[in-house]
Structure 1
Amino acid sequence: MKAELDRSGCISCGLCTSICPEVFRMADDGIAEVYVEDVPAELEASAVEAQDGCPVAVIKVE
């Protein structure tokens, strides 16, 4: 699976980083980013949970 995040729509709530910190992190500018684009199999469920929980739906995991 690959993770993508549209940073232009991110509201910096930090939900994705709290659910799946192995894939998402807060960048120096305070906006979330993907730092592991190819999601390891053991993290797929939490990456999808981050996608589903994103309040502004800017995360795509497929």
Structure 2
Amino acid sequence: MAKVTIDASVCVGCGLCEQLCPEVFEIQADGVAHSKADTCNTHNISEIAEQCPVSAIKVE
């Protein structure tokens, strides 16, 4: 399993991650993305993270 973190100080809330993987990401009331879980089994999570326009998503 991959560990997913989002740097809220960098996130611009564009929603791309939520569109690509709504089971993992969601834009919350504060206007930035949040991970719904600390770990993820989604096979393409690294590819989704690479598409973040501000590189706010980290996958370990």
TM-score (norm 2): 0.88
Q: Name the count of aligned residue pairs.
A: 59
**Runs of 4+ deviating beyond 2 Å:** none
Higher normalized helix content (fraction of residues): 1
Structure 1 residue aligned with 2:50? 52
- CA separation in 2, counterparts of 1:44 and 1:59? 15
TM-score (norm 1): 0.85
| Coordinate RMSD, CA, aligned | 1.0
Percent identical residues: 41
Kept in 2, the 8 Å contact 1:19–1:49? The answer is: no
State how 1:1-62 maps to structure 2 within 5 Å: 1-40=2-41, 43-45=42-44, 47-62=45-60
Instruction: Structure 1: state its 5+ residue gaps.
Output: none
Higher normalized strand content (fraction of residues): 2
